[in-house]
Amino acid sequence: MASLEVETRPVPPTVLDANYDKRLMIAAGRSSEELGGKIAGRLGVGLTNPGLKTFSNGELYCRYEESIRGADIFLVQSTAGNARAGLTANDALIELLIMIDAAVGASAHRVIAVTPWYGYSRQDKKSAPREPITARLVARMLETAGISRLLTMDLHAGQLQGFFSAQTPVDHMTALPMLSQYVHDQLGDVNELVIVAPDAGRVKLTRNFARKVGAPYALMEKERPAHGVAEIGRVIGDVKGKVAVIVDDMIDTGGTLAAAARTVMDEGAKEVYALATHGVFSGNAFENLSNSPLSGIVVTDTIPIPDGAPDMIRVISTADLLTESIRKIFTDDSVSEIFAGENQLF
């Protein structure tokens, strides 16, 4: 009788091999390609191409050009406009959502959204009846798309972190140590400085910043009668004969900042500078700021700066800070150690 040969197949292992190494991958949306490239370079990995394009009808498309199965993929995309890439803020948000969905569908192990600028962050509460809380809506959209966690920087308000569920951790970074170091290095004797809060909502942030710099602080009285309109009242504190440094989380149209700078100078300051993490610079911002008494403005690269920026604006990079944060998240180390636990500034 003929013998039967039975084909044997190897039994798949029930656990991962001990030498298994999880992969770290970085991809960037078109709003943050330059920043994403800097981060990837510092981590020593190539920037993964998400294959983004815009169809003729304005719809967006994404297809990763390499396998991301089993990887921790960090998607770098500030939800801000980028005129050079032809993106509006809404385009950037939808592009990020599409990148997240594609990564989840491609079986990435973890999908971490790196949004240095969190768009719609100013719509964090109801100021009038029948208004949306759009910052909360964006959080729900990101979670529904499938992010594992969010890495962001200098949120407009602390409660934004509470818009995410407990299953979606939010790692909050701050550029204030970088900006305070710039003040130490570039603006001279701290005894001649005064740090100025642009409104009451920034007092705690300004106080922490002033403590780091070793200078006193003052407060500007401001009212906002309508969206995009601010009325500067007076300065509470002594700025006479001082170099005033206005510190805020963002600069948008620049109108409020220009008015604040004029008020500070009218109160007797000999010079005034402005520092902010996010340089939105929309509308007539460059014109407003160029015509103001500001001696200089420093922002970071969380948002790509539009073309035509005046020479008074200096940009410092957050790439090193974000790189170290990503490294800590990937290795499951403490992110707050980077800031000695002082990254919750609200």
Task: Give the tokens for residue 155.
Answer: 């949120």
Query: Using CA atoms, how far apart are residues 63 and 218, in angstroms rounded to an integer?
Result: 51
Q: Name 224's Cβ contacts closer than 8 Å, sequence gap at least 6.
A: 230, 231
Q: What residue type is 274 in one-letter code?
A: A
Sign of CA dihedral 67, 304, 143, 168: positive
Task: Give the tokens for residue 319.
Answer: 């790439």
The question of whether 222 is a catalytic residue gets the answer yes
Query: Using CA atoms, how far apart are residues 12 and 263, in angstroms rounded to an integer?
Result: 72
Contact between 118 and 155 (Cβ < 8 Å): yes
Query: Using CA atoms, how far apart are residues 144 and 62, in angstroms rounded to an integer?
Result: 18
- The H or E element spanning position 209 is helix 203-213
Among residues 38, 53, 126, 222, which one is catalytic? 222
Buried b (16+ CB within 10 A) or exposed e, 258-273: bbbbbbbbebebebbb
Q: Name 5's Cβ contacts closer than 8 Å, sequence gap at least 6.
A: none
End-to-end CA distance of the chain: 84
Tell me the β-bridge partners of 111.
73
Contact between 88 and 50 (Cβ < 8 Å): no
Residues designated as active site: 222
